Amino acid sequence: MAGTFLPKPVCCGALKSTQFTQLLRRPLGLCQAALAAIGGTASVGRHAIALWAMTRAPVASVAALRETSVLFATVLGTWMLKEEVGWQRAIGTVVIVGGVMALRLA
């Protein structure tokens, strides 16, 4: 099991159990392990920054602003991955921006 990264099962919910176990037993390459380590470190850092921000500002505002990550995911997905932005995603983006503006005005 050396080199196996635990979050693999999260991505494999639709696989059959035999495919799932084969995927778990496949060792990661050096590049994949480095990316996993960077992603894990970034996730811990993100939560640490959010907790720190909650000591400096109202918790409701920090929690709401954390949700703006969806906007960045939409922009990066459209720009880098050439994903289409449908009307549902566009409306969601407008609602999030409106919420951020309402927080700023409050």
pLDDT per residue as tens digits for the range 54-90: 999 988 888 888 878 888 888 889 999 998 888 998 8
pTM given for the model: 0.55
Same domain flag for 48 and 69: no
Tokens 């050439």 sit on residue: 82
Taking residues 23-46, what's their average pLDDT?
83
DSSP character at residue 81: S
Q: Are residues 4 and 16 in the same domain?
A: yes
**How many whole angstroms separate alpha carbon 83 and alpha carbon 27?**
30
Q: Identify the weakest region by mean pLDDT among 16-25, 32-41, 66-75, 95-104.
A: 16-25
Residues 52 and 22 grouped into a single domain: yes
Domain end, chosen from 56, 74, 91, is at 56
CA–CA separation, 26 and 5 (whole Å) = 10
Per-residue model confidence as pLDDT tens digits over 85-106 = 889 988 988 998 888 888 878 7
Indicate if 91 and 106 belong to the same structural domain.
yes
Residue 2: give the domain boundaries: 1-56
